[in-house]
Amino acid sequence: MSDTPTQLSYRPRAPMKKPHTHQHAHGDGCCAAPVPAAPAAPAAPLPAGATSTRYRIVNMDCPVEERLIRNRLGGLAGIARLDFDLMSRILTVHHDLPETTGIEAALQAIGMQGEPLAQHADDDAPALETPHLSGAQKALLAISGAAAVGAEVLAWTTHTDSAPIVIALAALSIATGGLPTLKKGWIALRNLTLNINFLMSLAVIGALAIGQWPEAAMVVFLFAVAELIESLSLDRARNAMQGLLKLAPDVATVRAHDGSWQEAPVAGIATGAVLLVKAGERIPLDGVVRAGASSVNQAPITGESIPVAKQIGDTVFAGTINERGVLEIAATADSRHSTLARIVRVINETQANRAPTQRFVDVFARYYTPIVVLLAVLVAVAPTLLFGAAFTPWLYKALVMLVIACPCALVISTPVTIVSGLTAATRMGLLVKGGQFLEMGYKLRAVAFDKTGTLTTGQPAVTQVAAFGNASEDAVRMLAASLDALSSHPLATAIVAAGPDAHLRKAAVNVATLPGRGVMGEIDGAVYFLGNQRLMQERSVWSHANNATVRAMEDQGQTVVLLASDTAVLGALVVADQVRPEAQAAIARLSAMGIATVMLTGDNAGTADQVGKQAGITTVIAQLLPEEKHQHVQQLQSRYGVVGMLGDGINDAPALAQADIGFAMGAAGSDTAIETADVALMNDDLQKFPAFIALSRATRRILVQNITAALCIKVVFFGLALAGMATLWMAVFADVGASLLVVFNGLRLLRAPAKNA
């Protein structure tokens, strides 16, 4: 349009205005009376005089390492409490020890190298860089995979798993891809922590003991790939959060004591300082406009679809973009307490405090493996010691039990099923950053949606043109497009797009910006004005008849731009964001699947209500800041249990982190939203959302089928072994058969997963 937005009906809102809640006729009232979030469990009290030592542990990625550290440090004298931030790889040890050498030695003993950090986050060393997979590591992994595949092929063609060449290839695969896992398994055994690494080690050793060299090699390789994918996904999320603060500039223009303007580091600017922000610059700190008028794109913070007019007394946020005029801003918060900094803090706290989901196989191994090993030992020695029975037959039965107990089928069942599901998701245009999210999707009972860029396209368009008096709609379109032809403002772009082609428009001359009001210019010697109601009133062309018509448009939550000559208002153009064409069908399918839908948006109430009605969402909550979206997701979790959040902007990041599963619009979404989220819809097709849930439900069913089948086969053969009716050959057959069964069952996910709703 012009250098100043011509939007009357879109009024700037106060930063902490009470959220608007709207219930459609069929709403269930879940958000009309917000449910208080469940209080967090209080941390264990610290003894008087306790100190805290913080460590950055590069290889602490998941709950497996967390439990290993807890088991090792938890029993040390003087340790009061351990706090884990897996996302930042930081361990905080609360203790009353005179020195920390014992803590560091204990960490080193379990393969965890702890780098001491300053006590407070603000004094930390530079942000942790993402470790990249080195060329040597890639080569070793490639060798491991090639050797494992070669061993399988040769074993199949030669009908033997113990040929020298087969054993050599399998040994090469295990040596290049499995030594880290075997080492971790040994450390876990030494520390009486029978985690998934011990389970994998036992599977490999068991397979080798029965001569299944190719199987052992393949299990090692698949597990190494799965661990690598998980680690890289976490690293990408860490980098995205570290880059979030880069939205705010490092240097700002500040008024000095002598009245001159000087550049200064943002980190050292105190509350109350006066800042100068030119057109196109990012606002460095939260503040209040003291002089000037402009439009500010604050979508990164509030999610509002259209740049907001800012005048003296209006609030602005750090990280937002001053699009047009020059602003003088009085800072109301320093860099550590800005709205942007709070977003980062909420994300970090949410990621750190979320109760980690234990992998089923890891939890199962804590009980299954020691019980089976103990049972096998008892079968081998108890009859001889208690009843004087011959030792050899019972030892043979014990060996059969251990072979049957080899958890290869259990270990393979989960990664094969998950990899198949992730592959199917990729083919569908879904980026799922971890098997745990694919597994968890079936539990979703409610989904919160952002509005702008998620349910809507994020691109304003002219939806209605009204002509007043003797003017025609075509004339209104043409004159408005002519006045806005040289502007790049989003509203102007929409108005120009709704007008005639460039060669059919009349040239506007002497176009001038009217700050906070709109633009004026001459066309064919006549003066025309394009702007808001305030401009029309100042030109004395406003009438009560115009007021009634425009008010009816504004009541629908739409932005109204008025066109006038120097004697009368000629017409109005209604500009609004467009609901995605597939939104209604996607919401209807979610409802049919029994999933509640809620809209959480920073936009105004009228606009939000209209979008909610068009999309079919029953509950709409508008005028929310990022932390308020985060709070509403917590309330939904209190009511429904497992909750998802779908958004596209940085302002959605805290809510995405709080949700059990965070979803981002992959094409239109910001990098931070995508990296904070757990699942990205890469082509921005909302229909992929219910497709993901259908895929998750199918994955869940197959996982249950695989685990049940593997356990049932083992239970049957345990009974046969105790009865003396099973041989080692039968045990090998049962183990291999169970492995093949779960593999083929898992691969079914590659076929039309979306139909398995």
Residue 114 is part of a domain; what is its CATH number?
A: 3.30.70.100
Residue 724 has pLDDT above 70, yes or no: yes
Instruction: Report the alpha-carbon distance of residue 543 to residue 613 in Å, rounded.
Output: 32
How long, in residues, is the chain?
757
Mean pLDDT of 208-214: 79
- For residues 597 and 48, the answer to whether their CB atoms sit within 8 Å is no
pLDDT at residue 745, rounded to an integer: 86
pLDDT at residue 757, rounded to an integer: 42
Q: How far is CA 12 from CA 252, 302, 322, 441, in A?
A: 24, 11, 15, 38
Of 354-358, 367-371, 383-387, 496-500, the one with minimum mean pLDDT is 354-358
Of 98-102, 551-555, 656-660, 703-707, the one with minimum mean pLDDT is 551-555
The burial class, CB within 10 Å (0-12 / 13-18 / 19+), for 120 is exposed
pLDDT at residue 63, rounded to an integer: 59
pLDDT at residue 440, rounded to an integer: 87
Single residue among 298, 315, 337 that ends a domain in this structure: 337
367 falls in which pLDDT band (50, 70, 90)? confident
Single residue among 121, 144, 174 that ends a domain in this structure: 121
270 falls in which pLDDT band (50, 70, 90)? very high
pLDDT at residue 327, rounded to an integer: 95
**Helix or strand (DSSP H, E) at 101:** helix 101-109
Note the pLDDT tens digit of each residue in 582-603: 999 999 999 999 999 999 988 7
Instruction: Report the alpha-carbon distance of residue 678 to residue 697 in Å, rounded.
Output: 17
* φ and ψ of 49, to 5 deg: 85, 5
pLDDT at residue 357, rounded to an integer: 31
- For residues 343 and 79, the answer to whether their CB atoms sit within 8 Å is no
pLDDT at residue 226, rounded to an integer: 64
Q: Quick check: is 477 in a domain?
A: yes
Q: Which amino acid is at 179?
A: L
- HSE (side-chain half, CA atoms, 13 Å) at 504: 12
Mean pLDDT of 548-565: 80
User: Which range is most confident: 12-16, 62-66, 480-484?
Assistant: 480-484
Which is higher by pLDDT, 735 or 282? 282
Single residue among 89, 104, 121 that ends a domain in this structure: 121
CATH number of the domain to which 304 belongs: 2.70.150.10
Which is higher by pLDDT, 253 or 750? 253
674 falls in which pLDDT band (50, 70, 90)? low
Note the pLDDT tens digit of each residue in 373-408: 788 789 888 998 998 888 878 876 776 776 676 666
Note the pLDDT tens digit of each residue in 569-578: 999 998 888 8
Note the pLDDT tens digit of each residue in 503-550: 888 888 998 878 778 889 999 999 999 988 888 988 888 887 777 778
219 falls in which pLDDT band (50, 70, 90)? confident
Q: Quick check: is 690 in a domain?
A: no
Mean pLDDT of 458-469: 86
Of 244-258, 579-593, 707-721, 724-738, the one with minimum mean pLDDT is 724-738
Residue 25 has pLDDT above 50, yes or no: no
Mean pLDDT of 476-488: 88
Of 317-326, 448-457, 733-742, the one with minimum mean pLDDT is 733-742
Which is higher by pLDDT, 270 or 129? 270
Residue 703 has pLDDT above 80, yes or no: yes
Note the pLDDT tens digit of each residue in 411-426: 667 767 777 787 788 7
Instruction: Report the alpha-carbon distance of residue 588 to residue 648 in Å, rounded.
Output: 21
| Residue 137 backbone class (left: φ over 0; alpha: ψ -120 to 50; beta: rest) | alpha
Mean pLDDT of all residues belonging to the chain: 78
CATH number of the domain to which 533 belongs: 3.40.1110.10
pLDDT at residue 18, rounded to an integer: 35
DSSP string of 338-394, one letter each residue: SHHHHHHHHHHHHHHHSPPPPPHHHHHHHHHHHHHHHHHHHHHHHHHHHH---HHHH
pLDDT at residue 390, rounded to an integer: 86
- For residues 79 and 73, the answer to whether their CB atoms sit within 8 Å is yes
Mean pLDDT of 272-278: 95
Q: Quick check: is 400 in a domain?
A: no
Residue 11 has pLDDT above 50, yes or no: no
Which is higher by pLDDT, 746 or 244? 746
Residue 457 has pLDDT above 90, yes or no: no
Q: Three-state DSSP class for 44? A: coil
pLDDT at residue 40, rounded to an integer: 36
Q: Quick check: is 69 in a domain?
A: yes
Q: Quick check: is 469 in a domain?
A: yes
| From 450, 603, 609, 685, the catalytic residue | 450
Strands 294-297 and 679-681: unpaired
Domain coverage including residue 86: 51-121
Q: Which two tokens stand for residue 626?
A: 């990022």
Q: Quick check: is 687 in a domain?
A: no
Q: Quick check: is 603 in a domain?
A: no
Residue 29 has pLDDT above 50, yes or no: no
Of 43-57, 127-141, 199-213, 709-723, the one with minimum mean pLDDT is 127-141
Q: Quick check: is 127 in a domain?
A: no
The domain tally of the chain equals: 3
pLDDT at residue 34, rounded to an integer: 30
Q: Which two tokens stand for residue 98?
A: 């005179």
Mean pLDDT of 236-248: 58
pLDDT at residue 669, rounded to an integer: 47
Question: Is 450 among the catalytic positions?
Answer: yes
Q: How far is CA 403 from CA 377, 443, 714, in A?
A: 13, 35, 10
Which is higher by pLDDT, 143 or 7? 143
Mean pLDDT of 672-680: 68
Residue 349 has pLDDT above 80, yes or no: no
Mean pLDDT of 111-122: 70
4 falls in which pLDDT band (50, 70, 90)? very low
Q: What is the pTM of this model?
A: 0.57
